[in-house]
Amino acid sequence: MTQKILYLEDIDPVNIYGSNNSLLNKIISSFPKLKIIARGSEIKVIGEESLIADFEEKFEGLIEFYLKYNRLEEADIDKLFFDSAMQSHIKNGDLDEVLIFGNGGQPIKPRTVNQINLVKEFFLNDLLMVVGPAGTGKTYLAIALAVRALRNKEVEKITLTRPAVEAGEHLGFLPGDVKEKLEPYLQPLYDALRDMMPAKKLVGYIEDGIIQIAPLAYMRGRTLENAVVILDEAQNTTVNQLKMFLTRMGQSSKFIVTGDITQIDLPRKSDSGLWQAVNLLKGIDGISILEFDEQDIMRHKLVKHIVRAYEKKGKRQKAEGKSEKKSQK
């Protein structure tokens, strides 16, 4: 057995160990064949020499990641220790690429492997379909790419749309005219844009029609050219609605479709056109299909646990449904 001591230099141990040692426990559980003891800035590692060498290399990468990005979460540890793609991206500096600087100089850039892939696929393809759970940055990153393209004069317009499913069903009792009734369903798109450009400029772009935000129904009959067009909440489109949207694509335009198949608000979940489109369009040159997962969630750490709990429930119900069908036969 070999023993080695590593030191945290100029780093508050709490930032590496986490609250109540949550991150440290994650690190320890990632190397079950090693005995890891942490006291203050000193970390003692006991075990086989080859395993200690592997741990030291990955731990150095973890420290490098923290110093560079000033954050460390459990998902980061998983990817840093076990995801060779993430390790490659860190070495290549891909996570350093800032798409745009938002209000107050806030850098907006990809932070996970899937987000990096989204950025890369945007430059290689004209249609992207991005599927994944809430909080993974699908729409936010897509809007950042659109704003970047507009700033760089790569396109002339940005069009953002959502299917106003709930608004369509319950417009009657809401106060105001149609625009005011639909506004809450489009609010997340406005919020993202307000993060990325001054309010006065945003208002000017909207008044001039350079940025358009509208319910999906308003897209019918239009041809969208020289623009980045984003359809958000696509799981709530029917097959015909999604087909209608995709066939709006004009010259020099890029379309991004985002959605979470676990949050369908249609009366019948089977009516959702998103999964059908994903399966139909796979393998077509110029179309990229990306699937995000819980490891990409950038919101509060509890969101990952919430998503995971609902996924487990869904799988359990699916399994129970299958067994019930078998027993009925």
Give tens-digit pLDDT for 12-64. 999 999 989 999 999 999 898 899 999 999 999 999 999 999 999 899 989 98
The separation between the first and the last C-alpha atoms of the chain, rounded to the nearest angstrom, is 59
* DSSP H helices in the chain: 13-17, 22-30, 49-69, 74-82, 84-92, 113-124, 138-151, 165-170, 178-196, 199-207, 239-246, 274-281, 301-328
The pLDDT value recorded for residue 123 is 87
The pLDDT value recorded for residue 94 is 57
Digit-coded pLDDT (tens) for 105-121: 788 888 888 898 899 89
- Are the C-beta atoms of residues 318 and 269 closer than 8 Å to each other? no
Q: Half-sphere exposure of residue 285, counting CA atoms within 13 Å on the CB side? A: 0
Residue 152 has pLDDT above 70, yes or no: yes
Give the pLDDT mean for 57-83: 82
Q: How far apart are CA 235 and CA 242, in angstroms?
A: 9
The domains found in the chain, sorted by start residue, are 2-92 (3.30.1370.10), 97-298 (3.40.50.300)
The pLDDT value recorded for residue 174 is 46
Lowest average pLDDT, out of 23-32, 78-87, 145-154, goes to 78-87
Both tokens assigned to 238: 């029917």
The pLDDT value recorded for residue 264 is 86
Residue 186 has pLDDT above 90, yes or no: no
Q: How far apart are CA 299 and CA 190, in angstroms?
A: 18
Residue 188 phi/psi, 5-degree rounding, is: -60, -30
3-class secondary structure, 158 = strand
Q: How far apart are CA 147 and CA 145, in angstroms?
A: 6
Digit-coded pLDDT (tens) for 217-256: 888 888 899 999 999 999 999 999 999 999 999 999 999 9
* Residue type (1 letter), 11: I
The answer to whether the Cα torsion of 68, 73, 77, 78 is positive or negative is negative
Digit-coded pLDDT (tens) for 214-227: 888 888 888 899 99
Average model confidence (pLDDT) across the chain: 84
Digit-coded pLDDT (tens) for 93-103: 655 678 888 88
Percent of the chain residues past pLDDT 70, beyond the cut: 84
The pLDDT value recorded for residue 122 is 92
Bigger pLDDT: 150 or 329?
Answer: 150
Percent of the chain residues past pLDDT 90, beyond the cut: 43
Residue 173 has pLDDT above 50, yes or no: no
Confidence of residue 167 (pLDDT cuts 50, 70, 90): very low
Give the pLDDT mean for 289-310: 78
